[in-house]
Amino acid sequence: MKKHWGFLLLAVFVFVFASRLYFAFSIPYFSSDDAYFNLRQIEHIRSTGLPLFSDDLSYSGNTFVFSPVFHYIIAFFSLFMPVSFAANIIPNLFASCTVFFMYLIVRRVTKNEGIGVFAGFISGFVPIFFANMNDVSVYSLVIPLFFLLIYLFIRIRDKYCFYGYVFLLIFLSFVHPIILVFCLGLVFFQILVIMESLGRDRAELEIILFSVFFVVWAQFLVYKRLFLFHGMSVVWQNIPSSLLSEHFLSISALEAIYMVGVLPLMYGVYVVFRYLFRDPRKDVYLFISFVLSTGLLLWLRLIEFRVGLIFSGLILVLLFSQHFKLYINYVKQTRAHRLLPLFALFFVFAFIITSVLPSFALAKNVVDSYITSDEIDALVWIKEHTPRDAGVVASVKEGNLIAAVSERRNIIDSYFFLHKDVTLRLEDIKKIFTSSLEIEVVDLMEKYDADYIYFSPVAIETYKINFLPFVSSGKCFEKVYGNTAVSVYHKLDSCRLKVVV
């Protein structure tokens, strides 16, 4: 590796990391409800050494089945700094490392260090990936390692890469089930290789077989309880259908293109078509297989839309770099070869406009829109002024906030596993927010043993309401807290429903 490329790569990494940290620290809170679930787990590990598998606050009593590896890693770093710092810095550090792994893959495939550095730069600014800088997500660890695994797979005949691959595969299998996307991609790759008669490589087949069996086995070991509880429907993660549709419908096609990055998408798709139909090439087929596997899972709604876009965006960067190589080779053959730096610069500028700026804009939007200080004030008020065993009704997007910040029982949150009545709960919560009948709301709140209603901008947006109509009589509900954004209502103890048999 030439020295200047090394420095440039390091500079790219520092720039990506610094940009992510700038946005992450621009607000004192985290930007998603799930972040607060992860934060609770990290804090619990830090204080007790164990994850919170059995929780009294989530769903007013819930059992979590998940892999706590990521939480342990952050908890370890939180020994040297405050938890909120560790939860911001470490995931962003991991995510920024994607730059290196992308560089390695692209350098290997294109045999061009400059293109590798450029691909690293692009991967750091895939808008939807960049905008996740503040949500303490396990994907910040999984995604870079996913690409490192691809790199090690490409070099599987190298002894050290082979051992690295096996070790990393085992590690990732126990970190997150998204590793199944990798296995599916490998299976697609093998099918494409067979279909195009590109010469079967025994070593590849062996490692693919091993990977598939190991990953499937690991998932059954870790999530056996969920498989038995939900059966086949576990693949949809027990997410209520209304919420699932909402995830997919809330982003339009144009927005999706914007979030993935226009240039990588455009040229990535071109490369897919070119190599799939005209110019079969094994290493490019590997990337195409991952696009196909992610696309299939997105189509079947088996992975979260946002996560699917992140994977697609990053894999398209790999495909784009292949196009970039073709482009450079083409320019070299023309009379304009002396203008090559200018053409390359044009690409960099185009990329800055279509990916870097959208990344910043999206990140700004994320930090601005999720949670305000008014909401935090209300949540803290609940923590300080309500009984410890109080139950709080909030929208599903705020369930973890209620548990983490207010430290009170919620009725529903984003962990949908191990509940057969998730859809019913979701409907009941909707009824509580939208009903005009006081008696119905009292009945539902008694059903879930809830005492307070947290009425926030998120609830207003989710349920398309401006106020709670049933509180106007004042017989059963009183407003106990209010600021410009949030109101908290208390169900009076005197108001009870009695069933006469």
Partner 1 sequence: MNVNKLLVGLFIVAFVLLLLPYFFRFAQGNTVFIGSEPHYHARIASFIRDNGMPEKDVFSDKKYLFNPYHFVLAGAGFIIPIEIASIIVPVMLGLLSLLFFYLVLRSFKFNSQRSFFILFIFVFSPFFVSIFSLSTPRALALVLLFLGFYLFQKKSSVSFLFSLIILGIASLCGFVHAVMILIILLVYSFCMKKRFIRFYFAFTVVFLVFLFVYLPYYLFTGGFGLVLKSDLISEFGAIYGFGVFSLLLGIFGLFLVWIYKKRFYAAYIAGLCIVISSFFVNDILVYANIIVCFFAGSAFYSLYVREWELSDLRSFALLVIFCGLLFSVVSNAAVLGRMPPKNEFIDCLDWIGLNTPQSSYVFAHPADGFFIEFWSERPVLVDEFKVNKNLEDDFDLVWNSVDIKSTQDVLSRYSINYILIHEDLFSGLVWDKKDQGLDLLLKNPETFKRRYANSYCEVWEFKGS
Q: How many CB atoms are located within 10 Å of the residue 232 CB?
A: 7
> Mask 223-262, x = binds partner 1 (CB under 8 A)?
-x--xx-xxx-x----------------------------
Q: Which is nearer to partner 1, 82 or 231 (CB)?
A: 231
Residue 123, judged by CB atoms within 10 A of its CB (0-12, 13-18, 19+), counts as buried
Least distance from C-beta 214 to partner 1, angstroms? 5
Q: Which is nearer to partner 1, 49 or 231 (CB)?
A: 231
Q: Which is nearer to partner 1, 81 or 195 (CB)?
A: 195
Q: Is 449 in the site for partner 1 (CB under 8 A)?
A: no
Q: Which of residues 141-160 bind partner 1 (CB under 8 A)?
A: 156
| Closest to 312 measured CA to CA, from 261, 237, 352, 236 | 261
Strand-strand pairing, 487-491 and 54-55: unpaired
Least distance from C-beta 202 to partner 1, angstroms? 4
Q: Which of residues 405-444 bind partner 1 (CB under 8 A)?
A: 420-421
Q: Concatenated DSSP letters for 206-267?
A: HHHHHHHHHHHHHHHHHHHHHHHHHGGGGGGTT--HHHHHHHHHTS-HHHHHHHH-HHHHHH
Q: Is 499 in the site for partner 1 (CB under 8 A)?
A: yes
CA–CA gap between residue 245 and residue 241 (Å, rounded)? 6
CA–CA gap between residue 404 and residue 30 (Å, rounded)? 12
How many residues at the interface with partner 1, by CB under 8 A? 27
Least distance from C-beta 449 to partner 1, angstroms? 11
Distances (CA, A) of 81 to 84, 89, 223, 304, 369: 8, 10, 32, 32, 27
Least distance from C-beta 272 to partner 1, angstroms? 26
Q: Is 501 in the site for partner 1 (CB under 8 A)?
A: yes
Interacting span for partner 1 (CB under 8 A) from 52-60, 71-79, 199-207, 392-400 = 199-207
Among 7, 22, 210, 248, indicate the residue that binds partner 1 (CB under 8 A): 210
Among 27, 69, 212, 390, indicate the residue that binds partner 1 (CB under 8 A): 212
Q: Is 302 in the site for partner 1 (CB under 8 A)?
A: no
| Closest to 225 measured CA to CA, from 461, 418, 80, 372 | 418
| Rg of the chain, C-alpha, whole Å | 25
Interacting span for partner 1 (CB under 8 A) from 35-43, 210-218, 309-317, 367-375 = 210-218
Least distance from C-beta 72 to partner 1, angstroms? 24
H or E element, residue 479: strand 477-482
Q: Which is nearer to partner 1, 107 or 230 (CB)?
A: 230
Q: Is 203 in the site for partner 1 (CB under 8 A)?
A: yes
Least distance from C-beta 234 to partner 1, angstroms? 7
Q: Concatenated DSSP letters for 56-118?
A: SSGGGSEE-----HHHHHHHHHTTTS-HHHHHHHHHHHHHHTHHHHHHHHHHHHH--HHHHHH
| Closest to 294 measured CA to CA, from 279, 283, 306, 284 | 306
Terminal C-alpha separation, the chain? 82
Least distance from C-beta 165 to partner 1, angstroms? 10
The answer to whether residues 35 and 45 touch, using CB atoms and an 8 Å cutoff, is: no
Q: Is 198 in the site for partner 1 (CB under 8 A)?
A: no
Phi and psi for 130 in degrees, rounded to 5? -65, -40
| Closest to 24 measured CA to CA, from 99, 95, 102 | 95
Q: Is 166 in the site for partner 1 (CB under 8 A)?
A: yes
Question: Quick one: DSSP state of residue 469?
Answer: G
Q: Which is nearer to partner 1, 129 or 165 (CB)?
A: 165
Q: Is 220 in the site for partner 1 (CB under 8 A)?
A: yes
Distances (CA, A) of 396 to 191, 265, 374, 448: 41, 33, 19, 14
Interacting span for partner 1 (CB under 8 A) from 87-95, 145-153, 215-223, 334-342 = 215-223
Q: Is 162 in the site for partner 1 (CB under 8 A)?
A: yes
Among 1, 81, 216, 361, indicate the residue that binds partner 1 (CB under 8 A): 216
Among 22, 213, 248, 346, indicate the residue that binds partner 1 (CB under 8 A): 213
CA 421 to chain centroid:
25
Least distance from C-beta 423 to partner 1, angstroms? 12
Among 206, 255, 368, 449, indicate the residue that binds partner 1 (CB under 8 A): 206
Interacting span for partner 1 (CB under 8 A) from 198-206, 271-279, 436-444, 481-489 = 198-206
Q: Which is nearer to partner 1, 223 or 311 (CB)?
A: 223
Distances (CA, A) of 88 to 1, 82, 480: 32, 10, 34
Q: Is 197 in the site for partner 1 (CB under 8 A)?
A: no
Phi and psi for 280 in degrees, rounded to 5? -60, 130
The answer to whether residues 266 and 317 touch, using CB atoms and an 8 Å cutoff, is: no
Among 209, 357, 380, 439, indicate the residue that binds partner 1 (CB under 8 A): 209
Least distance from C-beta 43 to partner 1, angstroms? 31
- Interface residues toward partner 1, by CB under 8 A: 156, 162, 166, 202-203, 206-207, 209-210, 212-214, 216-217, 220-221, 224, 227-228, 230-232, 234, 420-421, 499, 501
